Structure 1
Amino acid sequence: METLLKCEQVLERLELKVKSAEGFVTGAGVAGVAPVGGGRLQEQNICQPLLDAVASHIKSPMFNHTLSRVFGPAITTLLGPSPRRAGSPPAVPAKRRRLPEEVVEIPDLLQGEIAHLDQRFKVQLDPSQHLGSRTVHLICQLDDKNLPCVPPITVAVPENYPSRPPQCNASRDQYDSTQFLRNILNSLDIHLNKMPEKYSVTSLLDTWEMCVRKACSLPDTMATTGRD
């Protein structure tokens, strides 16, 4: 509706200009100046075809959209942007705003500790980490060419680390597949129970590696590994 009102204002201005031009030409003819074409200027509204086209399509469901798209830029140039009514809601953007993706934040202290770990420890974020969780879940792998390949462990680092120690979660299903892995898990449980009240992620991983080396040094374990 606002676009129609602006179109009406523009058409009224054009009509006034046409009438002014007709009056000027008529007056000039009276003064002795012959009008163009040798006759009186035809009193025909040059905007009549446009008005007829608007009237024929005014009931179209796409009429307002087409009118705004065709005449909107020109009307804005001539009349300027229309003032927004008080209390009117802001225009809704055409494109849907994209919400920022939530990212798991790792404390700087923990990032620094992971960066200084020995290269034999490979650490990455657990892909099943729940967004919004204050606990950071890490998947840790032991990559040492002098040691056998063992299943990774998951380390849960609490929000108030290092005031509270990390928790080690080894997959019971994976570490229960052979006697060798069972010895590693049993040794790890014993050593973690003897750890001080506060310990670091580095200390936990070093303890895990020590348990792997200890299990490798047991001859009965190595003998039974081939039978499992």
Structure 2
Amino acid sequence: MQTPTPHIGAKLGEIAKTVLMPGDPLRAKFIAENFLEDVVQFNSVRNMLGYTGTYKGKRVSVMGGGMGMPSIGIYSYELFNFYDVDNIIRIGTAGSLSEDVKLRDVVIALGASTNSNYASQYCLPGTFAPIASFDLVSSAVEVAKERDINAVVGNILSSDTFYCADKTALDKWISMGILAVEMEAAALYMNAAEAKKNALCLLTISDRPLTGESLSAEDRQLSFTDMMEIALEIAK
């Protein structure tokens, strides 16, 4: 496919090898304005804002990925396959499903279990286990330690449903040691696997469904910078 694509208005070469991908395009704008230098906007199609700039001399892009696996599935597929992107780091929010994962903690998603049917397109003779790229995981762990950021590594749930009719569903995932629930990582990891590229999902815990705790809008803005800085530091 030629670039621009139906969903990304950039020309080939305007997007860096590493893309940070929050769900919210306004968070992409925040990162570009507060962390990057020499910023150029490369996308505004459907208001899914994308920017390229430099961070400590490294060329980095940041772009919104939308909500849910179909959305991030489209954008990550086009970035990996049509724009020669090598690394996508999702930076998002999640709900904790573990007593040991508190508000503001950063979860480094080693694996992404899912209730989605996304993997059916590959016609595999079994169940695929979507996992992050080890190099990105190990780098994120090291940066978190250096910066004294409370980070937890493990398996998360990428859910197709935000409001689930089965009110016992989360209990079943908790019984398997799932740390947190979000809605995008599994599709990102599958697209990366098929494209032979690298992916990682970093999540800030914004709420705890089991206790009813949640961050305020102001707290969310202040807390998410830890996750953003980890992602920027490991960009390459």
Is the shorter-chain TM-score for this pair beyond 0.5, marking a shared fold? no
Q: Which has the higher strand share?
A: 2
Q: TM-score, normalised by structure 2?
A: 0.23
Larger CA Rg, structure 1 vs 2? 1
Q: TM-score, normalised by structure 1?
A: 0.24
Q: Which has the higher helix share?
A: 1
Q: Which has the higher contact order (CA 8 A, sep 6+)?
A: 2
